Amino acid sequence: MPSFSSSTRDIPQVKEIPRHIAIIMDGNGRWAKQRMLPRAAGHKRGVEIVREVVKACVARNVEYLTLFAFSSENWRRPAEEVSMLKQLFIMALEREAEKLHRNGIRLRVVGDIAPFGKKIVELVARAEKLTRANESMTLTIAANYGGRWDLMQAMHRLIEANPEQRGGFTEEQLAGFLSMAYAPEPDLFIRTGGEQRISNFLLWQLAYSEFYFTDTLWPDFNSAALDKAIESYQQRERRFGRTSEQLELAGQAPLVKTELA
Ligand code: IPE
Ligand code: IPE
Ligand code: MG
C-alpha cells in the first residue's frame, strides 16, 4: 500500500493540475424538474456527464477522480428512486467496465455496497478485478458511502489489527484503514448544484482540500465547467497552516501568482 503525505503533517506536493479531484454530483433532480421530467431523467443524464468528466480528467492527467454517487443517507429517499438508482448503477457497471478498461482506467468502489445486493457486489468485484492493473487514472465511485461510516469502520479495523495497543494511536495508523487509503487526499473538491456543504462525504481527507462550489446542476456540468474549477484551483495558495514565505522556502510557490493584492 503506497503511503501518501498527510496534509496535517507535511506540505503535500502541489501541482498545477490537481492530482486528485473529488466531486459531489448534485442537482440531477432539479435539472429534471426544470424540464418537467421525472427525476430518473436527471439521473440518466447525470451518468452521461460522468462519462464526459472522466474522459476530460484523463486528458488533463488527473490521477484520481472520486465521484459521490450515493450517500449513506440517500436510502431515506422514496423506495422507487432508490431502486431506480440501483438499476442505473447496474447498467453503468455492465456497460462501462469494459470501456474503462480499454482506456486504461482503474475502477474502485468505496462504501458499504453489500446492502445493494449480490448482483452489484459481483459486478463491482468483476470490474475492479478487470481494471486492477490500469494506470492512466483511478476512478473511485463512492456508493452507500458516508464519511462517518468510513471513520467508524477504519477505527474498528485499527483496533482489531492491534489488539495489544491500548492507546496512542496515530493519524497515520487510522488513515491506513480508511477506505481510500490507496489515494492521496483530494486537492480539489467540487460540488455542483448550488449547495455549499459536505453532506458526509470524505470527512477526514478534505482537511486541506480546496473547495469549489458551482450553481451548475450536475447534468449541465461538462469539460468546460471542469476547466473553470481547475482554473479557480490554480489561483489558490495552499498554505497548510503555514505562511507564504515558508511555502516559498519549501519550493512550493503559489501555483499562479495572483495580481489582485
Ligand atoms: C444527485 O442529484 C444524485 C444523488 C444524490 C443520487 P440529486 O438527486 O440529489 O438532485 P437534487 O439535489 O434533488 O436536484
Ligand atoms: C449528496 O447529495 C450525495 C450525492 C451526490 C451522492 P444529496 O443531494 O444527497 O445531499 P443533500 O441531501 O442535499 O445534503
Ligand atoms: Mg441533491
Q: CA-to-CA distance for 253 and 246, rounded, in angstroms?
A: 9
Verify whether ligand 2 is closer than 6 Å to residue 24 (CB atom). yes
Which residue is catalytic, options 26, 144, 150, 187?
26
Specify the higher pLDDT residue, 251 or 21: 21
Which residue is catalytic, options 10, 28, 61, 74?
74
Tell me which of 23, 24, 25, 28 to substitute to probe ligand 1's pocket, judged by most ligand atoms within 8 Å of the beta carbon: 28
Average pLDDT over residues 66-82: 98
Average pLDDT over residues 57-85: 98
Give the residue, by CA position, lying nearest to ligand 2 atom 10: 199
* Residue 247 pLDDT: 85
Give 250's pLDDT tier (boundaries 50, 70, 90): confident
Residue type at 195?
E
Verify whether ligand 2 is closer than 6 Å to residue 148 (CB atom). no
Verify whether ligand 2 is closer than 6 Å to residue 197 (CB atom). yes
Average pLDDT over residues 71-90: 98
Rounded to the nearest angstrom, the distance between the alpha carbon of 182 and the centre of ligand 2 is: 24
Assessment of whether the complete model's pTM goes beyond 0.85: yes
Verify whether ligand 2 is closer than 6 Å to residue 74 (CB atom). yes
- 28 assigned to active site: no
* Residue 254 pLDDT: 64
Q: What angle do CA 58, 191, 215 make, to 5 degrees?
A: 115
Rounded to the nearest angstrom, the distance between the alpha carbon of 27 and the centre of ligand 3 is: 5
* Residue 11 pLDDT: 83
User: What is the helix (H) or strand (E) element at residue 148, kind and residue range?
Assistant: helix 147-161
Average pLDDT over residues 130-141: 98
Measuring CA to CA, how many Å separate 254 from each of 158, 230, 236? 37, 14, 7
Does residue 259 surpass a pLDDT of 70?
no
Rounded to the nearest angstrom, the distance between the alpha carbon of 130 and the centre of ligand 1 is: 30
Q: CA-to-CA distance for 182 and 107, rounded, in angstroms?
A: 12
Does residue 228 surpass a pLDDT of 50?
yes
Rounded to the nearest angstrom, the distance between the alpha carbon of 150 and the centre of ligand 1 is: 21
Q: What angle do CA 204, 205, 211 make, to 5 degrees?
A: 115
